[in-house]
Amino acid sequence: MKSKFWQFLYCAGNNLQRHTFMHVAPGRPKRRKRLLAPRSLASLIIPISVLVIVFALLPTRSTRAIINGFSTNQELPLPALAPIGPAPVAFIVRGLEPSVRVAPDGAVYVSSIRGVPGGVDLHRYFAATDGPPGVGGTYPFKYEGQPDNCGILANGCANNSLDPLGLGLGGGDVDIAVNYPTSGVPNLALVSLTLAPGVTGTHSTDRGDTFSAPNPVVALIPGDDRQWIDGTGGQNVYLNYHDVGTFNIDVQRSNDGGETYVDGFGEAIDPSTFPAAGGVPATNSANVAGQIKVDRSTQCANSRGNLYQIFVAPDSAAENLLGGALRSVYVGVSTDVKLGLPVFTFTDTKVFTGLAGPNNEGAVNLFPALATDDFGFVYAVWSDNSNIFFSSSSDQGTTWTPATKINQSPTVGNANVFPWVAADANGHVGIVWFGDDRPGNSNDRATLEPGHPPTQGAACTSGTDCMKNWAQWNVYYAESVNAHDPIPTFAQSQISDHVRVDQVIIREGDVRAVLWVKGDLFQIAFDPKHRANVAFSDDHLVNTEVGPDHGPDNPTSRRKIRANFTHELTAISGIVTTGTCAGVPPPEVGNKITGGGRLGSAVNFGFIAKDTPLKGALSYHDDNAPGGSIDVHSSNGIDSLTFSGKCASFTGDAKVNQKSGYRFRVSACDNGEPGAGKDTFFISVTGPMNFSYSNGGFITDGNIQMHSQ
């Protein structure tokens, strides 16, 4: 979840860069999708000639020089307008919130959003087919179109031709992930946030040249927000998003490269943390989720496959109920995900707690981010609107080092926001963020944006060039080769070769509203040669192709918003690729029962139930249930568990066919090996309108296992 309001991107003809519509419950960050139009198309479309569309397939070249070991910043071009049906109506095209990944074969991917329902765009650079770098080290990216723009009309999977009846039309958020096969072309997965039902997924097996038909229902829960993905192995992809009913962080696994996400399920906020971070009741502050990360350690089998979920939330249940600031950082860890069952659980640890002040000085800025290196060490970064904080774990997320401020001069004391982190080798970490040139934090509008009212795109209060006096933002990079040491060393540099438009980045108290035009995140990824690749949104140019153009320092001019890219030309010296693996977490205590399998051909199930501490998860599906297929998933873990000999029974809240308000009870017995024909599984479900369902017996496939620690 990013912010507490709906944000709308206007269509052509409107001078506002973005207008924010507030619908706020006190203290709670509400779901949001970036939209291209706030009302019906008929009421907002303004005719504009499509003849002004200019679409260069090669990256824009620049005469700017290489800066601090990074390539010349390059714009990834997009068309000026996106037609909506018959000419001349069109949406203005933008490139916001870029995601960047580098596959193990060296292919670089950058995806950005246009806003719903404009879809997303993808650029790729693969040296073997796209050619060598150009002047200043710039890459000749290939434009790969819009992977989520597939409609039901004759234009099919058209690029830059909006089908109003499209099935996969997203663009609210995007994330991409690459896989790590032992041979062959690495899979590329992509997810895009839509209006309804929520998340569209697709994937490519030929480096982005073609994609599978977009699947608009990859999320188990409709009405989702801020999805993230990460890949491992040849085809496994993990997806996380907010369940809008409870604001828990749902995690799903795909075993088919990201075409579907039905092969695993978990909830990243554990039952003991949920009172401080959950969204029940709806007036709670709840949480902001970062990207899911999977440990792909090439050296250490003990940590390989662990899942990590970072999020920020209030410090306590009391603060959550009162709409308090999201001032604490948490990391959820799943190790039982490696069991390969249809379900997995998380254990959460509090990493950091910020200050509690009347103006939310300690409120954590969007988004927290996390990375793992090749030896199982874990790294977290976040911002409090003024500082970039860093912490590491040397025992697979169980304990964390004290938070360290890693931003250095000239950014100390200024606004520093939107950090992202990448890691590889043994302790090699890179962190990027936006930093400005003004003392204070990003909430200080009077300092950062003088001479301008708080309405986005409004005219200066005096004159027409007040932006000359606004804060100037640059992209900063901090790199370490000993990041998991007790006192790590970071080298900081500026890697943007021009000032991004001197626009305020502001959070208005509890609302934390992003009132600027470049989105609220950007990313970094290391390539196989340990070099940083960075993609960020930039709007330092006026959009002269569309207009209006009232001058470069006039806030009523329309900015040209595009993803920019730069990469490290040579890897930093001192990177270590050998050494000792991260430590192991403490052994589990108590009793646990796990199981997965089938009851005939129509029923499959999976569960985990543990008593110390009490936690668990259930997934159950019956294709032949009376009245139609039934899908049952636990909601917020389990709330009771009893063991009796070889058997156990547990209960909890459930969602049935994506709807809340149900209860389940499971009884299972481990009667011998192998489990088929010996172990038993029984389930009963009750719910609204006297709903009742039960089934069970000897399992026909799979195994149920009792564990005693």
pLDDT digits (tens, 9 = 90+) for 256-283: 999 999 999 999 999 999 999 998 888 9
Q: Is residue 88 part of a domain?
A: yes
What is the per-residue DSSP string for 625-659? Answer: -TTS-EEEEEEEEEEEEEEETTEEEEEEEEEETTE
CB 80 within 8 A of CB 88: no
Domain co-membership, 213 together with 245: yes
Domain co-membership, 520 together with 603: no
Number of domains observed in the structure of the chain: 2
Residue 565 pLDDT exceeds 90: yes
- Interval 638-661 mean pLDDT: 96
Domain co-membership, 482 together with 620: no
Q: Which two tokens stand for residue 117?
A: 């329902």
Domain boundary among 567, 601, 629: 567
d(CA 77, CA 601): 51
Domain co-membership, 169 together with 274: yes
Domain co-membership, 528 together with 643: no
- Interval 16-31 mean pLDDT: 32
More confident residue, 55 or 492: 492
d(CA 682, CA 703): 14
Cα 53 → chain centroid: 31
- Condensed to tens digits (0 to 9), the pLDDT of residues 676-695 reads 999 999 999 999 999 999 99
Domain co-membership, 439 together with 555: yes
Contacts of 677 (CB under 8 A, 6+ apart): 698, 699, 700
pTM greater than 0.85: yes
d(CA 427, CA 414): 28
Average per-residue pLDDT for the chain: 85
Q: Amino acid identity, residue 635? A: S
Cα 683 → chain centroid: 34
Residue 141 pLDDT exceeds 70: yes
% of the chain at pLDDT higher than 70:
82
Q: Is residue 452 part of a domain?
A: yes
d(CA 625, CA 169): 33
CB 257 within 8 A of CB 189: yes
Range of the domain at 479: 5-567
Domain boundary among 503, 533, 567: 567
Domain co-membership, 291 together with 212: yes
Q: Which two tokens stand for residue 696?
A: 């069970």
pLDDT value of residue 162: 57
Domain co-membership, 474 together with 538: yes
Q: Which two tokens stand for residue 188?
A: 């590329």
Q: Is residue 573 part of a domain?
A: no
Beta bridge partners of 417: 434
pLDDT value of residue 518: 54
Q: Is residue 578 part of a domain?
A: no
- Interval 182-187 mean pLDDT: 97
Closest CA relative to residue 296, chosen from 248, 382, 236: 236
Helices (H), 435-566: 445-448
CATH code for position 647:
2.40.160
Domain co-membership, 540 together with 607: no
CATH code for position 414:
2.120.10.70
Q: Is residue 579 part of a domain?
A: no
Q: Is residue 580 part of a domain?
A: no
Domain co-membership, 537 together with 680: no
Domain co-membership, 633 together with 560: no
Q: Enumerate helices (H) and strands (E) in the chain, giving the number of each.
A: 5, 41
pLDDT bucket at 115, cuts 50 / 70 / 90: confident
Q: Is residue 326 part of a domain?
A: yes
Residue 194 pLDDT exceeds 90: no
Q: Is residue 69 part of a domain?
A: yes
Pairing of strands 34-35, 5-8: parallel
Domain co-membership, 400 together with 476: yes
